[in-house]
Each structure stands twice: as C-alpha cells, then as structure tokens.
Amino acid sequence: MVKGYIHSTESFGSVDGPGVRFIVFMQGCNMRCKYCHNPDTWDKSGGKEVTADEIIKAALRYRSYWGKNGGITISGGEPLLQLEFVTELCKKCKEQGISTVIDTAGKPFTREEPFFSQFNELLKYTDLIMLDLKHIDSSDHKKLTGFDNDNILDLAQYLSEKNVPVWIRHVLVPGINDDDFSLNKLHRFIKTLNNVQRVEILPYHNLGEFKYEELGIKYPLAGLRSPSRESIANAQRLLHITDYKGFITE
C-alpha cells in the first residue's frame, strides 16, 4: 500500500476548484517562491504519513456539502513530488465517483521516464489541473522561485495536447510580475493553449509572513504591499480574464 505525506487538510475549500472541496495539502516542495505563504510545507521529510483510504474516509464526512460539482483537491506543497501516492488517491476517488483536482506549480514535470508514464496514469483519474504560472519569463521566474520555467511551460503545452481541462492561476506580485510587458507575454502564451477553462488573478498577500518568523527564515518580500485595485484590474484586462467562461463555480 502506497503511503503519502501530507501537511494538513481543509474541509470546506471554496476557491480551489469547482464547488465546495476537501483540500489535501501535500508535504514537500522544491521551489522557494519569494511570496510563498506555506513555507512549512517545504520540508519533504516532514508531514503526517497517511494512506489514500484514510484521506477518502476523512473527506467523505463532508460529501453532503459538495453538491454536484465539489470533490477533492490535492494541493501542496507540490503534489507531483508524490506522484505514486497522488495517482492512487485519485484512482480510488474516481472509483467512488469523487471529482478530483490537482493544484500544481508543475516544476517536477518531465517527459523522461519513469515520471512521464506515471504522470499519464494520473491524468486518467484527474478531472482538472490548476496550474500556477508564476512568471512567464524564464530568468525572472528563476529570480522569483529559484528555478527556470521551461519544463513548466512544456507541461502547459502537453496538457493542451492531451486536452486536459486546465485553470491557470497567476499570483500578481507588485514590481515582480505585474508589468504590462510580462502580462501581455503571458496572455499570448495562454492563447496558444486550447484547454484553458479559466484564468485567475490571485493578489499577493503577506499573511504567511509569521510562519517565516516561526521557522527562523527571513521573509524575502518584507514590506511589500498587496497590489492595488487598479493593478489587479489592469492584469485582468491584459490577461483577458472575461474570455474564459468555460467553467462552473457553484
């Protein structure tokens, strides 16, 4: 039996996929995004060991609240770092008619084996991928996260080839990725994809800053304020948010 390591769960997620969802936050992430509000999920050796059956049993207590569109969202950390466990969890969810969503930044993706075959197996049991595109420029992406984004964009293109439903998420960070040039470039890339159902702007916030203090880590964006309403509206305009209506939110 495959076991996974989770950081925590949330019973009534309303912004992590269609409907009301049970959220599983996986433990472990290689990226070090400057705005990350969950640095306590980074450590791959931490977390609570669980089985897929234990997760499903906990989630099913809230099934009556999900309605016809809710279900389970697997987030992180980075769920693709525990690919075998996430695949088993999604497969068992589908056996019970539970909607599955994967919320990922995509960094573990590769077309090399054994990852590629296992990832394709996961896609058989996944209803939706929520893909976080942090910065469209590879060098700026590396400054922001510690890694370039070449394989992340390749993942987006592969999901388009496979016609896997995708929601694109973009955390808007003042002075880092909110300029018109970057947003226009991101829009042009998204328009090359044929499977994007929704594009979301997530305004930067520093609500996780206290966690850095508790962990003894210097917060990289100390003093940075959330984007203004005007900046958010500009990003929504440049990304043509209203073009993407192929989704259900209730």
Q: Which pLDDT value is given to residue 134?
A: 98
Report the mean per-residue pLDDT for the chain: 95
Predicted confidence (pLDDT) at residue 119 exceeds the cutoff of 50: yes
- What letter would DSSP give residue 227? P
pLDDT tens digits for range 172-220 = 999 999 999 999 999 999 999 999 999 999 999 998 999 999 999 999 9
Mean pLDDT confidence for 218-240: 96
Q: Which domains does the chain have, with CATH numbers?
A: 3-243 (3.20.20.70)
Task: Give the predicted TM-score (pTM) of the model.
Answer: 0.95
pLDDT tens digits for range 85-108 = 999 999 999 999 999 999 999 999
- Binning pLDDT at 50, 70 and 90, where does residue 125 land? very high
Nearest to 52 by CA among 77, 22, 98, 88: 88
Measured distance CA(191)–CA(38) in Å, rounded: 30
Contact 128, 18 (CB under 8 A): yes
